[in-house]
Structures are given as structure tokens and as C-alpha cells.
Amino acid sequence: MVLRESPFPNRPLRGLHRLAQALLFPSYWAVDGLLDLRETTAEKQQRQQQCCVCYPLRVLFLGSALLLLFILTLPAALLGLLLWLPLQAARRPFAYKYTQLAHQPAAWELPGKGQALSFISANVCLLPSGLAKWSNLGQTQQRAEILGHRLTQGEARAGPRDGATRYGATAASVVIEMPAGERGAGQISASFPPGVDFLCLQEVFDQRAATRLCRRLSPVYRHILYDVGVYGLQGCRAPKVFNSGLFLASRHPLLAAQYHCYPNGAGEDALSAKGLLCVQVQLGMAQGQRIVGYLNCTHLHAPAADAQTRYDQLSQALSWARLFQDSHGQDGDVVAFDVFCGDLNFDNCSTGDGLEQTHGIFQKYRDPCRVGPRQDQPWAIGTMLSYLRIHEKAVSTPEDLKWTLEREGGRQTYLEGPILQDGSPDPSAPRSPWAGRRVDYILHRERPHPSLATTVETFSFITQLADCSDHVAVGLRLLVTPAPQ
């Protein structure tokens, strides 16, 4: 699919789409405001500390005003919906932002001693504010600004911060040593590393938040794909109110991109166009051959009881990724990496996730944190926070969250624990060693090309999104080297 900035092919269609959105927005804003009257635990605690007794009156009067606004703007919204729905047939399933930067990454040559690439994957929960409240988060536009700042904060650091932690590492990170004979190392870090090559986000559902992220990230990342997915009645069985939530930023040129919508979404997940985003990246040239990489980003079905749905989605994703590479690869291409990442909504410790834990994707791609089904590396920790506790002081800042997750007692308190098949807590799960549910993954192929091999330098659990998301971000630093003969 040709990469051009607007998802619409011409200006008249873009103009009609803006008009439709303008007609829909007042009613959308009113409904979001009504849902936003729900308090987060942080807002409730602040109100109690200030001894504020006017909350019921605020809900009554503001709720009444918003309901009246919704009723008054409903005719315009219906007109906007009638205009918006057919326009989706002409819309391509993503928008693309290109920024010309003064400093561009050096083009690759075939690795001699090896060249490194770094990847970040994070679920940032940027739903409309009212819906984000169900995850104990709100203020979506403000969080988008904060997230954009934090995601690029590593670029401003000249080096690791001074000072030491209780464990003797730098203040920015604590390395958890792997057993002898294992490759790479696990790391809990309070900061995103500088020079990240690829940033893959999930749950960027709110379009205004996506625009804010683009503005914040574009001084660092030349190529950004956002507003990924289909809407309305296009492409999937159920009508789609939200896009896929996928968002990808790259320092390197994108040669091709393709999105597929999962056809088997059910329940509340059927309202969003969850799917797979595949991109082909050009790293450089060598003797007339392209050096390329493939990045596959996804967010799987959420309801815990629907294991078969997730299993089928993984199978579809593998098939789509293979077809994408077959259709966009050229003879002589040197494939430097093939990465699969995202929020897969299952873990490797819960008995309820046993079906997904045995999926064939783990035969094609390597999970650095995994030894086998139901067995993770001793340094791996969970990435799903207990959402009702994300604003407590022990986890309210990146440094506090890192400090807490370094201790097994902290992980037991603030990370979601193993579940049964129906999604309820597993009372039989061992209390020690205890790591929590790891649902965010970055997988890689060890031999993406006969002449090259990839090994993990570091796998990171990054706490810099503390108080802004109910997930811990994950990072992978991948070393590309000549394959042993």
C-alpha cells in the first residue's frame, strides 16, 4: 500500500470527512463528558483530602447540562453519521506522518561485528477519557502530552544518571542477571533508552490523543503510522466505533505497510478494529541488495474467557505476516530482523491461558523471557498492573514503580496475578517465586536471513509510564550479526 499522509485519496473526500466529524463531535464530547463524571481513585482521594462535599451536586448539574447538550446536538450527529459511514469505504486503514529531520540514521551496511536495533512496545490506554476511567485512568489529552514527553525523554539524556540504587546499579536501571549459559540480560528501567529505533503502541484509540503524540514524537521519529484500522461497516463483521489502537513510530524509512482486521472480535472488543499491522523497513543497501526488516504489531482479544479467540487471532496474524513478507520481498533482499510485538492479552503463568501458551508462534519466533509453556526466565516480571492501585504512592512515579517491582512483595501487591480460565484469580497459584501476568511481548526470529542471526543484548521492563498507564512497557535491544557457518 502506497504511503501517503492522508488516509483519503483526494481533498474533497478529506473535506467531507472533516465536516462529518465536526457534526459528530458535540454529541461525542457530551457522551464522553458524562462517562468522565466517574472518579478515578486518585480523584476520589484528592476530593476526600480537600473535604470537598460538592461532588454529588457537580455530578447532578454538569451531568444534566451534558445530557441536554447531547439531546440538542443529536440531529446534527445523525446527519454526520449518515455522511461519515459511506466515506469509510474510501478510507485507507491508516494515516502516515513524515517529518524531514536534520539528523537521520546512518544507512546500514551488512553487519561486520554486529549492529544493534532497539524496539519498545507499550499499551498506553489512550481511550476517550470517559472510557479510560474504567481502567482507573482519565484525562486522556493531558496523558497523551505526558506520554509523548516521556517517550522521547531518553533523547535528551547525555548518559546514565549519577547515583546508585539499593542494588548498586545506576538510578536509571537495575540489571537482573540471567543464569550462567543464558543469552542476554533482563533489566528493570525507570527510563526509556535513548536512540530507540521502533516504537509500537497499543490502545491509542482517541484521535485527538494520537495527533498530540504525533506532534510530540515527530521531532525524533521521521515516520509515524497512526489512526490504524477501519471504521463503520468496512472490513469486519461487526460495526467498528474505534480503530485498532495501534500506533507505530520509526526512525527508518517504511517501504510498505498493511493492516488486517481480526474477523472474530466479540463482546466489547467487537466495537474496535483490533488487528495486525505489518510494515517493511529499509535499513540500507549492500552490493545492490536491500537490507530490510519486518515489524508486526498487534493487540489481541481482551476478555479472559475467550482463549480460543486469541488462539485463532494468533494463527491469522502468522498467516498474514507470512503473506505480507512474500508479497513485498524482492529477490536478493537481506532480512535483518523479523519482530512480532504487542499486547497479546495472555501470559505464560496462568492456568487459564494454557491454550495460547502452546501456540505455534513460539516455534517461529523466540520470546526472550520464556523458557517454555508455564515457565519464564527467572528475571522476567509481569507487565499488567493492578489498575485500582496504579495511583498509590509506591507506584506513582517511574522511580517508585521500578523500586517496587524489584521486590517480590511489591510485585505481589501491585501486579495482576495468575488467573483461571474464567478470568478469576487462581487461588492455587504459587506465591513464590511470584512475577505477575506478562501480557506484553516482543518476539523475534533468530535467523531472519541465512547470512544473518539475531541475539538479544537486553530485554527491559520500563516503568516510565507510571501513573499514565496500567501496563509496564517492554523493550528489546537486538544485535544483528553474521550467522555462524
Q: Which three cell numbers stand for residue 152?
A: 522521547
User: How distant, in Å, are the alpha carbons of 268, 274, 296 from that of 302?
Assistant: 9, 10, 19
d(CA 473, CA 277): 19
Is 0.85 surpassed by the pTM of this model? yes
The label of the residue with cell 472518579 reads 39
Nearest to 423 by CA among 364, 367, 352: 352
Given this model, what pLDDT does residue 101 score? Answer: 85
Given this model, what pLDDT does residue 157 score? Answer: 60
Given this model, what pLDDT does residue 211 score? Answer: 96
d(CA 397, CA 413): 16
Residue 150 phi, psi dihedral angles, 5° rounding: -70, -35
Given this model, what pLDDT does residue 61 score? Answer: 92
Alpha helices in 389-428 (DSSP H): 398-405, 408-414
Number of Cβ within 10 Å of residue 150's Cβ equals: 19
Given this model, what pLDDT does residue 156 score? Answer: 65
CA dihedral sign of residues 353, 359, 365, 371: positive
**CA 245, chain centre distance (Å):** 8
Q: Residue 110 in contact with residue 453, Cβ under 8 Å?
A: no
Average pLDDT per 10 consecutive residues for the chain, totaling 485 residues: 82 96 97 94 83 79 95 97 95 94 81 88 97 95 96 68 30 38 70 95 97 96 96 83 97 96 90 96 90 97 94 98 96 95 96 95 96 94 96 96 96 94 85 90 95 94 96 97 84
**Catalytic-labelled residue, pool 17, 391, 444, 471:** 471
Residue 366 phi, psi dihedral angles, 5° rounding: -100, 130
Given this model, what pLDDT does residue 310 score? Answer: 97
Q: What is the SS3 assignment for 284?
A: strand
Q: What is the SS3 string spanning 255-276?
A: EEEEEEECCCCCHHHHHECCEE
The label of the residue with cell 515457565 reads 375
Given this model, what pLDDT does residue 110 score? Answer: 77
Given this model, what pLDDT does residue 178 score? Answer: 35
252 in catalytic set: no
Given this model, what pLDDT does residue 169 score? Answer: 31
Given this model, what pLDDT does residue 199 score? Answer: 98
Could you please report the per-residue DSSP string of 150-181?
A: HHTGGGG-SSPPSSB-TTSSBTTEEEEPPPTT
